[in-house]
Amino acid sequence: MSKTRSLLSKVLMCLTKEHNTKKLFTKNLLSSCFRSKMAALRRLRQCHSAGSAVSHLHTSSHVCAKQHYKMLVLGGGSGGITMSARMKRIFGAENVAVVEPSEMHYYQPIWTLVGAGAKTAASSGRPTASVMPSGVQWVKSKVQEINPDTNTVRTDDGTEISYEYLIVALGIQLHYEKIKGLPEGFGHPKIGSNYSIQTVEKTWKALQDFKEGNAIFTFPNTPVKCAGAPQKIMYLSDAFLRKTGKRAKANVIYNTSLPVLFGIKKYADSLWEIVKHRDLQVNLRQNLIEVRADKQEAVFENLDNPGETKVFEYEMLHVTPPMGPNLVIKASPLADEAGWLDLKKETLQHTKYPNVFGIGDCTNLPTARTAAAVAAQSAVLNRTISKILKKEKPDKTYDGYTSCPLVTSYNTVILAEFDYNGQPLETFPINQAKERRLMYHLKADVMPHLYWHGLLRGLWGGPGPYRKLLHLGMK
């Protein structure tokens, strides 16, 4: 353990060094940033009679006449904010705009712990204004239509914005409505979901109120973001029921549409051992199709025998919703046949439109959709765009790196890290398939700090450089 702590300390020292270096770099840009802010203020004064809103020098296209930007970013989630911070350094703040309607920004990976009572929902969110890079133009609207042939985007209020370069970071769409009885079923007790700020605290309430019976956890028959989350809450619920003396009266059941427990064999083997040791029931190829919340019943279809269904009574139900591509992307020329943003998986440049790029959950990149993937992608995308602006060929490639901290109790985590090929790509020179207390603290305490103060500021591009350092250059 002392060796592991020492390794983590080295990583954190490296992170601090990088942060300080980039802080100095940012300081050297203050004069140009100041000029950009003053220009933004002058434009605000000119259109003040039409009504204006200022938040950390952010301006809105609802107000100002300017409708063209060198770099337009669609989406203000993790991918959109980190790339807007990076693009601000390249293009200048006044030349970058972000289209995002939400007033709040959430660190969604922590919702697993919120659903288990280990963190509060309030700790997961901050005002969007506080994470939006200062000086960039914040368009507080929803994207309605993308027209890459004319280099324009139309928002839901009818505003048309043109661009020279476009980054699409619109995330993934949740579809609770594709399960009969939802989302209205969340109005009943005993049911929750860690995938929405509106329902995550219902998970914790259902867990606290559990008396005896079935505690059921689901995984849908669609792509999802954070594919480990549906079973993380199962392990945490099992731990809570043991701690409160209710486990003997509980049947903890994981009904997954997948044919495997986890997609990467090294980590799946460890998880199966946990399942057996803790007497958890895993049913493969079972897809939730209906919730009868008034009766506390859940209906599952056997995907190996379509049409065959089974009704489970539940005392607690955690729902992972079906998910799909963003509907605006799906309706645009940017989509592949399935509706996802069609990118070159090495450079994150669009396959057809060379001035269009993408990042995160909305893309068709063949890797797990996580915040860790966004971090690694952001560094590659930043390099790709920098090279293209210089009319050079992109020289940095994305290897599909992603990470899933599999929370297995209130103090242990299996830290899964892997690439496009499903091969482990671990940061630490230890067996990360083993449950470790240190990895739990990394998940619960270090990663949130890294997210708010590193990733969203465009200062964290994943652990790649530190992996090489810790593995003596052999990875």
Q: Looking at the annotation, which residues are catalytic?
A: 226, 404
- Neighbour tally for 75: CB within 10 Å: 26
Q: Could you tell me if 409 and 235 are in contact, meaning their C-beta atoms sit under 8 angstroms apart? A: yes
Cβ–Cβ < 8 Å for 106, 194: no
**Nearest C-alpha neighbor of 172 from the set 267, 49, 78:** 78
Q: What letter represents residue 267's amino acid?
A: Y
Q: Which residues contact 435 (CB under 8 A, 6 or more apart)?
A: 270, 274, 408, 409, 412, 413, 414
SS3 319: coil
Count other C-beta atoms under 10 Å from residue 127's C-beta: 13
- Give me the sign of the Cα torsion angle 92, 97, 103, 108: negative
Q: How is residue 362 written in tokens?
A: 């909305």
For residue 270, give every residue at least 6 positions away whose Cβ sits within 8 Å of its Cβ, in sequence order, or none. Answer: 414, 433, 434, 435
Within 8 A by CB and 6+ apart from 74, the residues are 80, 98, 99, 143, 146, 153, 166, 167, 168, 169, 170
Cα–Cα distance between 465 and 88 in angstroms, integer?
24
Q: Give the residues across from 418 on adjacent strands.
A: 402, 424
Alpha-carbon span 85 to 291, nearest angstrom: 42
Phi-psi category of 369—alpha, beta or left, where left has phi over 0 and alpha has psi -120 to 50? beta
SS3 406: strand
Cα–Cα dist 3/438, whole Å: 11
Q: Residue 331 is encoded by which pair of tokens?
A: 């309706």
According to DSSP, the residues that pair with 256 across neighbouring strands are 219, 284
Looking at the chain, the number of H-run helices and the number of E-run strands are 13, 21
